């Protein structure tokens, strides 16, 4: 291929930083570039002895620790076809993904040994299990790697269309689909991040989101930029605040629900977060009111990325300087490294200010869905363009604001209502901590706009507050958008990636599982 792939970029960076620390685990000794390259090499040797090589289907189920980075490095340099299982997923979900992707080898953290024991009996194509440490099932990969000989890290020569990953969607709109990530698409994503995102000069990056998913995208960029990854096993708001202060963290990545947790934590006022330069956030819509609070309390350090599994991370970017009043609901401007367009249902570009589906083309776009030809054709089969299913408006300066998923748009009384716009209006009321809006079947309206809210402490959803909330929406968006029903809950259902699970929310409303 014309440019080095992500595995080559990583191997070169580890070689150049042989004597420098690149990873600081939450426990254990710091890891230099030479240390990590050597460990990747030993993992590669052991896996090769067990018939895992370029193109082999490999599953991973683990929380965050340094050996997950070792496996990511092995996959990028050797070209395994990796599928990560989300640590919060169910056994049934894992079994479906493994069978759908045809995974024959599964690597698990010992904490998931019981899950692996069930999966090996339920998934016919799964033939071997490795563990990252001693466990009652499988083969201890770490022990074998520790005794493997010292050999230089070799990097496979991979074609641009070589499949590096099959990443399963969050499933908010139905059964998850496997998105095919190629050498070309994943390498292009890393290049855009390095060229267009606001990393500190030498990132000291706190990794507290799952490395099995979006967190992995930061691995190569941080190492290439001369930085260090400080890896913590999970997101704990108190521990994250402590680590930022103690380790002088200057960058991290969070999803909106994590930002809310930091803002609401009692330790926030007592921690010095002055080292922070950039907090990347994305994966789900953010409440503009809470974002303004974060800017005031933590500082002007926030930068938003927008993407999806089919075109990950880098479709648009809202810079730190662009976080100004009136623009906090935006997902930023589209990347100049991609072709983008907002289009109507017939595929025609829409005028500025009118809602249109986001279409994307470029090297970052995935290669389709794994073994789903009809769905691949529907999303990707448009002369190189991907139909994302997300609807946005553009302002005169080119900033996009996402208003809904196409499938989540509510048709009520013959009018189209975008749930995100109702959510953003409700979020401006001081009583609202979190909100999700869905359409519920209704004999009169077709679909009734229904708001499910989490209230801040000290508020009750009495008749007075209901009137106030409906009036907020009426003033902001007009009478069609006003919820026909508002329900208060203790917590909204979330996917493993931190998004409001609209499928679960609708199901709960339909089955009256929400009072």
pLDDT in tens, the chain (515 residues): 568 898 999 999 999 999 999 999 977 899 999 999 999 999 999 999 999 999 999 999 998 989 999 999 999 999 999 999 988 778 888 999 999 999 999 999 999 999 999 999 999 999 999 999 999 999 999 999 999 999 999 999 999 999 999 999 854 445 689 999 999 999 999 999 999 999 999 999 999 988 877 888 999 999 999 999 999 998 999 999 999 999 999 999 998 888 989 999 999 999 999 999 999 999 877 888 889 999 999 999 999 999 988 999 999 999 999 999 999 999 999 999 999 999 998 999 999 999 999 999 999 999 999 999 999 999 999 999 999 989 899 999 999 998 877 777 888 877 788 888 899 899 999 999 999 999 988 877 888 999 999 999 999 999 999 999 999 999 988 888 999 999 999 999 887 667 788 888 888 887 776 65
Q: 77 is written with which tokens?
A: 């340099």
Q: Are 269 and 242 in contact (CB under 8 A)?
A: no
Q: 82 is written with which tokens?
A: 């990796």
Q: Are 498 and 284 in contact (CB under 8 A)?
A: yes
Other Cβ atoms within 10 Å of 367 Cβ, number: 16
Secondary structure of residue 304 in the 3-state scheme: strand
Closest CA to 383 of 333, 334, 336, 347: 347
CA distance 456 to 469: 14
Side-chain-side CA neighbours of 197 within 13 Å: the count stands at 31
Question: Can you give the pTM of this predicted structure?
Answer: 0.85
CA distances from 191 to 4, 127, 185, 423 (A): 10, 36, 10, 34
CA distance 363 to 311: 9
Q: Are 433 and 491 in contact (CB under 8 A)?
A: no
Residue 497 has a pLDDT of: 64
Residue 170 has a pLDDT of: 58
CA distance 464 to 247: 47
Q: 70 is written with which tokens?
A: 């070792």
Q: Are strands 128-131 and 139-140 parallel, antiparallel or unpaired?
A: parallel
Q: Which residues contact 146 (CB under 8 A, 6 or more apart)?
A: 42
Residue 514 has a pLDDT of: 61
CA distance 158 to 79: 7
Residue 173 has a pLDDT of: 44
CA distance 251 to 302: 10
CA distance 14 to 22: 8
Q: Which residues of 92-120 are buried (b: 16+ CB within 10 A; e: fewer)?
A: ebbbbbbebbbbbbbbbbbbbbebbbebb
């Amino acid at each position: 291929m014309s440019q080095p792939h992500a595995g080559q970029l990583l191997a070169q960076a580890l070689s150049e930083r042989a004597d420098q620390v690149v990873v600081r685990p939450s426990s254990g000794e710091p890891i230099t570039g030479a240390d990590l390259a050597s460990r990747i090499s030993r993992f590669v040797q052991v896996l090769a002895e067990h018939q895992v090589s370029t193109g082999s289907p490999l599953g991973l189920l683990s929380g965050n620790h340094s050996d997950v980075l070792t496996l990511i490095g092995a996959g990028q340099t050797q070209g395994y076809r990796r599928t990560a299982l989300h640590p919060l997923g169910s056994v049934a979900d894992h079994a479906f993904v493994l069978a759908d992707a045809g995974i024959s080898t599964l690597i698990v953290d010992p904490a998931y040994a019981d899950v692996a024991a069930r999966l090996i009996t339920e998934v016919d194509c799964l033939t071997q299990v490795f563990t990252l440490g001693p466990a009652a099932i499988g083969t201890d990969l770490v022990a074998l790697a520790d005794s493997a000989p010292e050999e230089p890290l070799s990097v496979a020569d991979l074609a641009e269309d070589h499949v590096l990953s099959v990443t399963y969607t969050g499933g908010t709109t139905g059964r998850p689909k496997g998105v095919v990530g190629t050498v070309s698409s994943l390498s292009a994503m890393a290049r855009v991040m390095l060229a267009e995102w606001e990393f500190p000069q030498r990132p000291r990056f706190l990794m507290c989101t799952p490395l099995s998913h979006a967190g992995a995208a930061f691995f190569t960029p941080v190492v290439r930029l001369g930085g260090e990854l400080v890896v913590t096993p999970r997101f704990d708001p108190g521990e994250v605040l402590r680590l930022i202060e103690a380790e002088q963290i200057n960058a991290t990545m969070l999803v909106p629900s994590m930002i809310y947790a930091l803002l609401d934590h009692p330790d926030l006022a007592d921690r010095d977060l002055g080292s922070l330069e950039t907090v990347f956030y994305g994966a789900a819509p953010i409440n503009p009111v809470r974002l303004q609070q974060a800017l005031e309390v933590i500082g002007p350090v926030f930068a938003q990325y927008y993407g999806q599994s089919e075109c990950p991370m880098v479709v648009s970017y809202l810079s730190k300087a662009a976080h100004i009043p009136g623009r906090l609901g935006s997902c930023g401007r589209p990347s100049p490294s991609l072709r983008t367009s907002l289009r109507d249902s017939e595929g025609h570009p829409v005028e500025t200010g009118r809602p249109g589906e986001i279409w994307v083309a470029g090297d970052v776009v995935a290669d389709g869905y794994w073994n789903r030809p009809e769905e691949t054709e529907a999303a990707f089969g448009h002369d190189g363009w991907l139909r994302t299913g997300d609807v946005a408006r553009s302002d005169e300066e080119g900033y996009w604001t996402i208003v809904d998923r196409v499938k989540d748009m509510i048709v009520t009384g013959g009018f189209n209502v975008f749930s995100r716009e109702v959510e953003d209006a409700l979020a401006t009321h001081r009583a609202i901590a979190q909100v999700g809006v869905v359409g519920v079947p209704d004999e009169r309206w077709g679909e009734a706009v229904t708001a499910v809210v989490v209230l801040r402490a000290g508020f009750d959803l009495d008749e007075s507050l209901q009137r106030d909330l409906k009036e907020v929406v009426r003033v902001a968006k007009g009478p069609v958008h006003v919820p026909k029903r508002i329900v208060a809950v203790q917590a909204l259902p979330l996917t493993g990636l931190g998004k409001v699970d609209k499928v679960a929310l609708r199901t709960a409303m339909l089955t009256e599982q929400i009072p």
